[in-house]
Structures are given as structure tokens and as C-alpha cells.
Amino acid sequence: QLGFYLAATAFHFLEERRKDFLVMVFHHGCTCVLVAGSYHLSLHRIGALVLLLREPSDILLHGTKMAAFFGRQDWATLLFATLMLSWVVLRLIMHPAVVMRSAYYDSWNFAGPAYHEAHYGRWFAFNALLASLAPLDWYYFAIAVGVSWRRLRTGRLEDPRERKAKAG
């Protein structure tokens, strides 16, 4: 999975830039550091939860895009509705309530003072990166709500990020 996020980050520099280029690079960069950091800091369960809660939405997102690309608006709409539900449950509710809570409170209590004396700076940075994913999830949820609204008005699913970003 780390390889996937590294490749996704690299491809942002090779593909045509979208309006959310910097946000997406930051998001993938955070995820790369979190996955690698979870191994380095022996927070394997947290790293696994980060991936477990993010992957279903990513799969549904790509499925929605493929259905729209092939002109299957019925499938695109169904997949998009499922994506929205998974996004709310997994990223907006479970990420803060389970992953962030566990990484901050449970890891502190489980590891003990000796661990935190040796790793406090890295532990703090890890938790800061976890916390930085939450506003990004809300940012992309707001975009998805806009897509939903346009779907209701026009009958088409269109990604507003697809429009080219202005150069410079």
C-alpha cells in the first residue's frame, strides 16, 4: 500500500494539474508518512486502521469514475451514493473516533512513559499528521456534496476538479 501512495504522489507531478493539486499532494504525502511511520514507531494497528478506513472509499471513487467514463450514469450514481455513505462512516466518523483516539489516548496509555520519553517528537508528529487528514476529508466531502447537488440539478455526475487549473 505504501507503494501505491508513493506512486499516486509521483503521478500528481506527471499528470495534468487539477485545481486541488497541492491538497492532493499533501494528502498522499501525509498518508505515505503515516504508513511508514506506523511501522517505524511500532504503531502497526494504527497504520492498518488508516488503510482499512481509506481504501473502501478509494475503490468506490475509482469505480464511480470508471462508470461515468463509460457513460453508465446509473452505475455511476449508485457507486457515488455508496461512496458518499462510506466516506461519512469511515472517514468523517470512524477516523476521528477510532483511529485518532486510539493513536493519541490508547497508544499513550499502552506504551508507557519510557516509550514516550524516547519517541515523543515522532509520536506527536504522527498524531499531527493523523489529525491533518480530518480537514482534508471534510474538504473532499464538501466537493462531493457539490457534485451531488449538480447531479440532482443536471442529471450528470461531473468532477469539478477536472477543469484545468490556471497556470501561474
Say yes or no to pLDDT of 142 above 90.
yes
Average pLDDT over residues 43-54: 85
Return the pLDDT at 168.
Answer: 44
Alpha helices in the chain (DSSP H): 2-14, 21-40, 44-69, 73-86, 101, 107-111, 113-154
End-to-end CA distance of the chain: 33
**How many CB atoms are closer than 10 A to CB 42?**
13
Query: Whole-model pTM?
Result: 0.80
Return the pLDDT at 135.
Answer: 95
Contact present, 7 and 120 (Cβ < 8 Å): no
pLDDT, tens digit (0-9, with 9 covering 90-100), for 61-105? 999 989 988 999 889 889 999 999 999 999 999 999 988 888 888
Distance CA 72, CA 11 (A): 27
CB within 8 Å of 6: residues ≥ 6 apart: 32
Return the pLDDT at 148.
Answer: 84
